[in-house]
Amino acid sequence: MTYCVGLRLNNGLVFMSDTRTNAGVDDIATVKKMHSWQVEGDRVITLMTAGNLATTQALVSLLNERLVIPEDRNPSILHVPTMFQVARLIGDTLKEVIQSNSNTGQLAQSAFNATLILGGQIKGMPPRLFLIYPEGNFIEAEADTPFFQIGETKYGRPILVRAQDPEMSFEDAVKLLLVSFDSTLKANLSVGLPLDLMIYEKDSLKVTHKQRIKRDDKYFRHISSGWGKALKKAFKGLPDFTFESD
């Protein structure tokens, strides 16, 4: 399993993903789930993947191979004019990969399924964030849905719903996502470190910041222990429950 979050802010986009993949308790590996392409000054595109590993790796390989195919034969994600067209192209490619590996077609419970978060900006247009389904269709983040999650979403969602603010700084957004990921790591062994982080500042048309957060990262360890202590303190500060007498 996995956990990935794409967050839309007024000043840009923030992406975070784990790197664990497993096919059982004795078959655990670290695999990159965040992929980026950029033409500095023209576009930045980031894709995060969850689902069947063979499907997601085939998808990314096809996208990369088609970057070198002449544009008049098969437009690539670096040639289409809008992020909407990028989402359509990636959705169609995902559907193509799934159908090629499944005799039963697009089934909701297909073992070959994958779900994607896509975000980025093309020159002259605003940054956009999409959630792409296994069927190839997609939805876009808006004011009422400012973030998308894929994979093991339930454990880290409450803090995002309560604390996300489109006006927040990149620094606060990273802190928020680390709390969300820490909650997920504590609850589900199928999500694991290291974490990949990427920040994109609006209109920069280049990757603003990119790093891998490892198990020995001092800031993440501080966030993890501090969040646990803060929860206990907040719990103790709530009014005590009392049993009413008969």
Q: In whole angstroms, give the CA distance from residue 246 to residue 235.
A: 28
**Amino acid in the structure at residue 14:** V
Tokens 């909407």 correspond to 84
pTM: 0.94
| pLDDT at site 244 | 85
3-state secondary structure of 132: strand
Sheet with 195-201, side-by-side order of all strands = 147-151, 3-9, 12-17, 195-201, 209-213
CB proximity list for 211: less than 8 A, separation 6 or greater: 196, 197
3-state secondary structure of 117: strand
Low-confidence ranges of the chain (pLDDT < 70): 23-26, 70-73, 102-110, 246
Q: What is the pLDDT of residues 59-99, one digit of tens each?
A: 999 999 999 876 666 789 999 999 999 999 999 999 999 99
| pLDDT at site 71 | 61
**CATH for the stretch 3-235:** 3.60.20.10
Quick check: 56 and 63 in contact, CB under 8 A? no
Quick check: 197 and 15 in contact, CB under 8 A? yes
Report residue 45: phi and psi, to 5°.
Answer: -130, 130
Quick check: 196 and 33 in contact, CB under 8 A? yes
Domain ranges of the chain: 3-235
3-state secondary structure of 211: strand
Total Cβ atoms within 10 A of residue 235: 8
Q: In whole angstroms, give the CA distance from residue 164 to residue 177.
A: 9
| pLDDT at site 75 | 84
Say how many Å lie between the first and final Cα of the chain, rounded: 50
Q: In whole angstroms, give the CA distance from residue 48 to residue 226.
A: 28
* Runs of H (alpha helix) within the chain: 53-65, 83-101, 157-163, 170-187, 218-237
Q: What is the pLDDT of residues 46-64, one digit of tens each?
A: 999 999 999 999 999 999 9
Q: Which of 99, 81, 115, 88 is nearest to 2 (CA)?
A: 115
